[in-house]
C-alpha cells in the first residue's frame, strides 16, 4: 500500500480536472452563491426535513437491533446529504438501483420506513415497495446493481423515454469489475444512467487508499469515456446541484459518474465494531463536518430556521418514526409456505410437494 | 419444411420469437451476436432482419451480459443473451444466482426476470481449453432457475421458444457437439415445446436409460445395440433438468425395474446423482437392480487430444446396461 498522499500519476491534478463542488463550508457558511433554483427556505426545508427523518430513522433502527427487534442493520449516519440529495434530484419515474445504505434516497422516493424495517428484520415483503414499483431492492453483493443499471437505462433508451437509471455505490464498489463493466457499457451506448459513488471513506475496515491508488474515484470515469465529477457529499446543496446536473446530462444520453465525498460516522453495520480499525479522533473530527448541522447552521444564519421550528420538526419526525415502528412490529409474519410462492410465476408441480411439507410441518 | 441443424434451429427460434413479438420486447444480445452472427452462427441473420437495437453486440464482459439482462428483464423486456462458451459463464454466475434466480422471490413478485441465458455446453468438437465443460448441475442447484438442454433441432426450436416465452429465468444449454451433427425437418410454426417435462425418445420394457443433451445420441445407439440382443430399452430425454419431471422417470422405472443414467458431466455431484436419489426415495421398491451412472470421469476436462476418452462411449453405456439387466 502506498502512503497517504502518494497517490495517482503526478501529471493528473485532481483539483484541476475534478474540482470539488461545494457551496456550504463545514460551519454552514456559504462560500459561493447558491444556485438560485436551490436556495431559499421553501427549497431547503424539505431537504433538511428529509435528512433529519433519515437520521432519526437510522437511530431508531439501530436501537431496535440492539434490543433484539431488528436484524443486522446498515446505518447511513453522516451520509444523509448524499442519500437525500440524490433522491431529491430524481424524477419520480426515474429508477433507483441502490446499494444497502441509501435509506434517505429510498424514503424520498416513497419506500416506507415500515418496508425498510421489514426488510432488515428478514422479511422479503419489505422489498415489495408500494411506492416506487420499478425501483430495485437494495443490492447486498457489492456493485452487483451496477450492471442492472445498464439494462434499466437501455430499456428507457429503447422506449425513447426521458428517464434515468440511478445507481448508488460505495467507494469499495469501485474496486469491482462490475462497476467498470457498467460505466464502460453506458459509455459505449450513451445510456441515460447516473452512477453516484457514496464515498464514505471506509469499506468496512478498509479506507479508500487501500482500494485504489487513484487520487479520486471520479477519474475512473475517464477510462470509460464518460464524465466524472466530485462533490462535497456533506453539503446537500452541492449534492443536489451536482446530481441534478448529472441527471440532465444523462437524460440527453450522456452517462455520468458523480463521486460524493462524505464520511461513515457509524459502524459498517450493527454487526461491526469500527473501534477495531479506526481512531475515535478521526471520527470526532469528522463530526465537525456532518451534513445535518451544516444545513441547519446555514438556514439559521439566513433567519429561515428557529429553535421552535427545530423542536416542532423533531417532534413530528419522531412521531412518524414511532408510527412506522408500531406498524412494523404489529405486522403478522409471513405464512411459512410463502417461501415457495414467488420462486416462479407458477410453482412447478415438482415443488408443490415440498411446499406441502412446509405447510404441514409442525417445526 | 426445411431440414436444418440444431444451431440453425436456435437462430430460427430467436427470429420467430422476435417476429411474433409486436411489443418489441424480445432482444438478442451478447458478444459477436451481430454482424458475426455468433461464433457458432446461432444468431445468424438476426441483425440484418431486426436491426442493431434488438440485436446487440455487447462489450466483452459476461457479468455485464447477465447483469444488464436482469435490468432489461425487470423492465419487462425479454432478453435472450448468449454466453459464447460455458467455460466463460463464471463471471456471470454471480448475477444468475444472486439476482436473476431470486429477483421475483426477493421482491415478492413485484419485479421478475424473464430472461434466457443461452450457451454452448459440452465437449466433442476439439475446441481449445475451457470450451468443453458440462456444468448443468451447478445451475440445477440454484433455486429459482429453469435449466433446459435440447437434444435435437426440433427440440431446440420448441424449447427455446418456450424458454423465451417463460416468465422466469432460463439457462438454455446447447450441446456444441450437436450443433451441426444432424439435420432434421423443423417446421417454423411458432409452436413451443413443453418445459418441465421429460420426453420418452424410445419405448421399452427391460431397462430405462435416462439422459439429456448430446448424450441422447450415444444412448439411443446403445438402445439399438441392446435391441439386437433382445433387450428393450426405454430412453428418456430429461430436457428440462430443473425443475425435474420425476413422474416420467418413476413411471418408466416402475415398468422396467432397471435404470442407467447417462451424462457427459463429471460423475461426482452430477445431476445423475439427483435422479438416482429420487429413484432411491420414491422408486426403490420397483427396482430390481442398483441404479448405475455412466458419466464423464471426475477429472479436469482433458484437452482435445484426449476428449474422446472422457466422453461416455456407447460401449460404456452398453456394459452398464447389460450388467444392470443381468443383475441378480
Q: How far apart are CA B136 and CA B86, in angstroms?
A: 10
Residue A24 is given by DSSP the state B
Whether residues B234 and B133 fall in one domain: no
Residue A167, classed as helix, strand or coil, is strand
Whether residues B17 and B144 fall in one domain: yes
Please judge whether A184 and B66 are an interchain contact, meaning their C-beta atoms are less than 8 angstroms apart: no
Our count of domains for chain B comes to 2
Whether residues B135 and B279 fall in one domain: no
B290 part of a folded domain: yes
- Nearest-CB residue to A158 (from B53, B61, B143): B53
Looking at B126, B160, B186, the residue that finishes a domain is B186
Q: Kindly give the confidence (pLDDT) of every residue in chain A, 363 residues in length, as a single tens digit, with 9 standing for 90 and above.
A: 455 555 556 667 888 889 999 999 999 999 999 999 999 999 999 999 999 999 999 999 999 999 999 999 999 999 999 999 999 999 999 999 999 999 999 999 999 999 999 999 999 999 999 999 999 999 999 999 999 999 999 999 999 999 999 999 999 999 999 999 999 999 999 999 999 999 999 999 999 999 999 999 999 999 999 999 999 999 999 999 999 999 999 999 999 999 999 999 999 999 999 999 999 999 999 999 999 999 999 999 999 999 999 999 999 999 999 999 999 999 999 999 999 999 999 999 889 999 999 999 865
Tell me what pLDDT residue B75 has. 98
B194 part of a folded domain: no
ipTM above threshold 0.95: yes
**Any CB–CB contact under 8 A between A353 and chain B?**
no
B100 part of a folded domain: yes
CA distance to partner chain B, nearest, from residue A196 (Å) = 18
| Residues A328-352 as b or e (16 or more Cβ within 10 Å = b) | beeeeeeeebbebebbbeebbebee
A315 is annotated as an active-site residue: no
Looking at B186, B208, B231, the residue that finishes a domain is B186
Note the helical H segments in chain B: 6-19, 46-50, 62-74, 90-95, 103-106, 136-140, 153-165, 215-228, 246-256, 271-282, 307-310, 314-325
Task: Mention every residue, 6+ apart, whose C-beta is less than 8 A from residue A269.
Answer: A72, A73, A74, A75
Residue B254: exposed, middle, or buried by beta-carbon count in 10 A (0-12, 13-18, 19+)? middle
**Any CB–CB contact under 8 A between A118 and chain B?**
no
∠ CA A93-A98-A103, nearest 5°, is 95
Please judge whether A188 and B64 are an interchain contact, meaning their C-beta atoms are less than 8 angstroms apart: no
**Any idea what the CATH number is for the domain that residue B248 is in?**
3.40.50.920
CB pairs under 8 A between A and B: 136
A331 is written with which cell numbers? 405486522
Tell me what pLDDT residue A325 has. 98
Tell me what pLDDT residue B178 has. 97
- Nearest-CB residue to B67 (from A150, A342, A349): A150
Q: What is the dihedral of CA B216, B220, B221, B225, to 10 degrees?
A: 150
Tell me what pLDDT residue B255 has. 98
Whether residues B229 and B131 fall in one domain: no
Half-sphere exposure of residue B33: CA atoms within 13 angstroms, side-chain side: 34
Whether residues B159 and B246 fall in one domain: no
Phi-psi region of B126 (alpha: psi -120 to 50; beta: other; left: phi over 0): left
Whether residues B181 and B204 fall in one domain: no
- Say if CB B91 and CB B63 are below 8 A apart: yes
> How many other CB atoms are found less than 10 A from the CB of residue B235?
23
Tell me: cis bond preceding A318? Omega within 30 of 0 counts. Answer: no
Residues of chain B numbered 253-292 and touching chain A (CB < 8 Å): none
- Say if CB B35 and CB B216 are below 8 A apart: no
B206 part of a folded domain: yes
Query: Rounded to whole angstroms, what are the CA distances from B266 to A322, B93, B302, B312?
Result: 57, 19, 12, 10
- Say if CB B46 and CB B18 are below 8 A apart: yes
Please judge whether A350 and B108 are an interchain contact, meaning their C-beta atoms are less than 8 angstroms apart: no
A264 is annotated as an active-site residue: yes
> How many other CB atoms are found less than 10 A from the CB of residue A287?
11
For B95, which residue in chain A has the nearest alpha carbon? A144
DSSP, residue by residue, A57-116: HHHHHHHHHHTTSS------TT-HHHHHHHHHHS-TTSEEE--SS-HHHHHHTT--HHHH
Whether residues B303 and B173 fall in one domain: no
Q: What is the pLDDT of residues B282-307, one digit of tens each?
A: 999 999 999 999 999 999 999 999 99
B192 part of a folded domain: no
Q: How far apart are CA B142 and CA B93, in angstroms?
A: 10
Please judge whether B108 and A125 are an interchain contact, meaning their C-beta atoms are less than 8 angstroms apart: yes
**Any CB–CB contact under 8 A between B61 and chain A?**
yes
Query: Rounded to whole angstroms, what are the CA distances from A192 to A25, B126, B225?
Result: 32, 43, 61
**Any idea what the CATH number is for the domain that residue B139 is in?**
3.40.50.970
What is the edge-to-edge ordering of all strands in the sheet holding A95-97?
A20-21, A227-232, A256-261, A193-199, A165-170, A95-97
Q: How far apart are CA B69 and CA A170, in angstroms?
A: 23
Domain range for B259: 199-325
Residue A274, classed as helix, strand or coil, is helix
- Say if CB A224 and CB A189 are below 8 A apart: no
Q: Which of A264, A294, A296, A328 is catalytic?
A: A264
B193 part of a folded domain: no
Whether residues B229 and B293 fall in one domain: yes
Residue B14 dihedral angles phi and psi, to the nearest 5°: -65, -40
Query: What structural domains and CATH numbers belong to chain A?
Result: 14-332 (3.40.50.970), 336-363 (no CATH)
Task: Mention every residue, 6+ apart, whose C-beta is less than 8 A from residue B95.
Answer: A144, A147, B63, B66, B67, B69, B70
B166 part of a folded domain: yes
Q: Given pLDDT bands bounded at 50, 70 and 90, which one contains residue B120?
A: very high
Picking from A112, A115, A152, the residue whose alpha carbon sits closest to that of residue A136 is A152
Whether residues B150 and B7 fall in one domain: yes
Whether residues B114 and B244 fall in one domain: no
DSSP, residue by residue, B16-57: HHHHT-TT--EEEEETT-STT--TTSTTTTHHHHH-TTTEEE
CA distance to partner chain B, nearest, from residue A311 (Å) = 37
Task: Mention every residue, 6+ apart, whose C-beta is less than 8 A from residue A221.
Answer: A183, A227, A228, A256, A257
A298 is annotated as an active-site residue: no
Q: How far apart are CA A207 and CA B232, in angstroms?
A: 68
Whether residues B115 and B151 fall in one domain: yes
Whether residues B126 and B220 fall in one domain: no
Please judge whether B68 and A144 are an interchain contact, meaning their C-beta atoms are less than 8 angstroms apart: no
Looking at B153, B186, B219, the residue that finishes a domain is B186
End-to-end CA distance of chain B: 49
B162 is written with which cell numbers? 418456450
| Residues A271-285 as b or e (16 or more Cβ within 10 Å = b) | ebebeeeeeeeebee
Dihedral of CA A172/A176/A179/A184: which sign? Answer: positive
Residues of B in contact with A341 (CB under 8 A): 109
B25 part of a folded domain: yes
Q: What is the pLDDT of residues B121-177, one digit of tens each?
A: 999 889 999 999 999 999 999 999 999 999 999 999 999 999 999 999 999 999 999
Task: Mention every residue, 6+ apart, whose C-beta is less than 8 A from residue B315.
Answer: none
Q: How far apart are CA B140 and CA B148, in angstroms?
A: 10
Residues of chain B numbered 88-107 and touching chain A (CB < 8 Å): 91, 94-95, 98-99, 104-107
Amino acid at each position: 500500500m502506498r502512503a497517504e498522499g502518494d497517490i495517482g500519476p503526478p501529471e493528473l491534478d485532481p483539483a484541476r480536472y475534478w474540482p470539488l463542488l461545494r457551496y456550504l463550508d463545514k460551519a454552514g457558511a456559504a462560500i459561493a452563491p447558491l444556485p438560485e433554483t436551490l436556495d431559499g427556505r421553501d427549497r431547503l426545508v424539505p431537504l433538511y426535513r428529509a435528512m433529519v427523518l433519515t437520521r432519526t430513522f437510522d437511530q431508531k433502527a439501530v436501537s431496535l437491533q440492539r434490543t433484539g427487534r431488528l436484524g443486522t442493520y446498515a446505518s447511513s449516519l453522516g451520509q444523509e446529504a448524499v442519500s437525500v440529495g440524490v433522491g431529491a434530484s430524481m424524477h419520480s419515474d426515474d429508477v433507483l438501483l441502490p446499494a444497502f445504505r441509501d435509506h434517505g434516497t429510498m424514503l424520498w422516493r416513497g419506500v416506507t420506513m415500515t418496508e425498510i424495517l421489514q426488510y432488515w428484520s428478514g422479511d422479503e415483503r419489505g422489498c415489495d415497495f408500494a411506492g416506487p414499483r420499478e425501483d430495485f431492492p437494495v443490492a447486498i453483493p457489492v456493485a452487483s446493481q451496477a450492471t442492472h443499471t445498464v439494462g434499466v437505462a437501455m430499456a428507457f433508451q429503447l422506449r425513447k423515454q426521458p428517464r434515468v437509471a440511478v445507481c448508488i455505490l460505495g467507494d469499495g464498489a469501485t474496486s469491482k469489475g462490475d462497476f467498470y463493466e457498467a460505466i464502460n457499457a453506458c459509455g459505449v451506448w450513451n445510456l441515460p444512467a447516473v452512477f453516484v459513488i457514496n464515498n464514505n471513506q471506509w469499506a468496512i475496515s478498509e479506507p479508500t487508499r487501500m482500494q485504489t491508488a487513484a487520487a479520486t474515484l471520479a477519474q475512473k470515469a475517464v477510462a470509460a469515456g464518460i464524465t466524472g465529477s466530485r462533490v462535497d457529499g456533506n453539503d446537500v446543496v452541492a449534492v443536489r446541484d451536482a446530481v441534478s446536473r448529472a441527471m440532465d446530462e444523462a437524460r440527453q444520453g450522456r452517462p455520468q459518474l458523480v463521486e460524493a465525498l462524505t464520511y461513515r460516522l457509524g459502524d459498517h453495520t450493527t454487526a461491526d465494531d469500527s473501534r477495531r480499525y479506526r481512531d475515535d479522533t478521526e471520527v470526532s473530527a469528522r463530526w465537525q463536518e456532518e451534513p445535518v448541522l451544516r444545513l441547519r447552521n446555514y438556514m439559521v444564519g439566513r433567519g429561515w430556521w428557529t429553535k421552535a421550528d427545530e423542536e416542532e420538526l423533531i417532534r413530528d419526525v419522531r412521531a412518524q418514526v414511532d408510527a412506522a415502528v408500531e406498524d412494523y412490529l404489529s405486522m403478522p409474519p409471513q405464512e411459512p409456505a410463502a417461501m415457495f410462492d414467488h420462486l416462479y410465476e407458477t410453482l412447478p408441480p415438482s415443488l408443490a410437494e415440498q411446499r406441502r411439507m412446509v405447510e404441514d410441518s409442525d417445526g | 419444411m426445411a431440414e436444418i441443424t440444431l444451431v440453425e434451429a436456435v437462430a430460427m427460434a430467436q427470429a420467430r420469437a422476435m417476429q411474433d413479438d409486436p411489443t418489441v420486447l424480445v432482444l438478442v444480445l451478447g458478444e459477436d451476436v451481430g454482424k458475426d452472427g455468433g461464433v457458432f452462427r446461432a444468431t445468424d441473420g438476426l441483425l440484418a432482419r431486426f436491426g442493431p437495437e434488438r440485436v446487440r453486440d455487447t462489450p466483452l464482459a459476461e457479468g455485464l451480459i447477465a447483469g444488464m439482462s436482469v435490468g432489461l428483464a425487470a423492465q419487462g423486456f425479454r432478453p435472450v443473451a448468449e454466453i459464447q462458451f460455458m467455460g466463460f459463464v463464471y463471471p456471470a454466475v454471480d448475477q444468475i444466482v444472486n439476482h436473476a434466480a431470486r429477483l421475483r422471490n426477493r421482491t415478492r413478485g413485484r419485479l421478475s426476470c424473464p430472461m434466457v441465458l443461452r450457451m454452448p455446453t459440452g465437449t466433442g468438437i476439439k475446441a481449445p481449453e475451457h470450451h468443453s465443460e458440462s456444468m448443468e448441475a451447478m445451475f440445477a442447484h440454484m433455486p429459482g432457475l429453469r435449466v433446459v438442454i435440447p437434444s435435437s433441432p426440433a427440440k431446440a426450436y420448441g424449447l427455446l421458444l418456450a424458454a423465451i416465452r417463460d416468465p422466469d429465468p432460463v439457462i438454455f444449454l446447447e450441446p456444441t457437439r450437436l450443433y451441426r451433427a444432424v439435420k432434421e425437418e423443423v417446421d417454423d410454426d411458432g409452436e413451443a415445446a413443453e418445459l418441465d417435462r421429460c420426453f420418452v425418445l424410445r419405448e421399452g420394457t427391460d431397462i430405462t436409460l435416462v439422459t439429456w443433451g448430446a448424450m441422447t445420441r450415444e444412448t439411443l445407439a446403445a438402445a439399438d445395440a441392446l435391441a439386437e440382443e433382445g433387450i428393450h430399452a426405454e430412453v428418456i430425454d430429461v430436457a428440462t433438468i430443473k425443475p425435474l419431471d420425476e413422474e416420467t422417470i418413476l413411471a418408466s422405472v416402475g415398468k422396467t425395474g432397471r435404470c442407467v443414467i447417462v451424462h457427459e458431466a463429471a460423475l461426482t455431484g452430477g445431476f445423475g446423482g439427483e435422479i438416482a436419489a429420487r429413484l432411491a426415495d420414491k422408486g426403490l421398491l420397483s427396482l430390481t437392480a442398483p441404479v448405475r451412472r455412466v458419466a464423464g470421469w471426475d477429472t479436469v476436462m482433458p484437452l482435445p487430444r484426449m476428449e474422446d476418452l472422457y466422453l461416455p462411449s456407447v460401449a460404456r453405456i452398453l456394459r452398464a446396461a447389460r450388467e444392470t439387466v443381468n443383475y441378480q
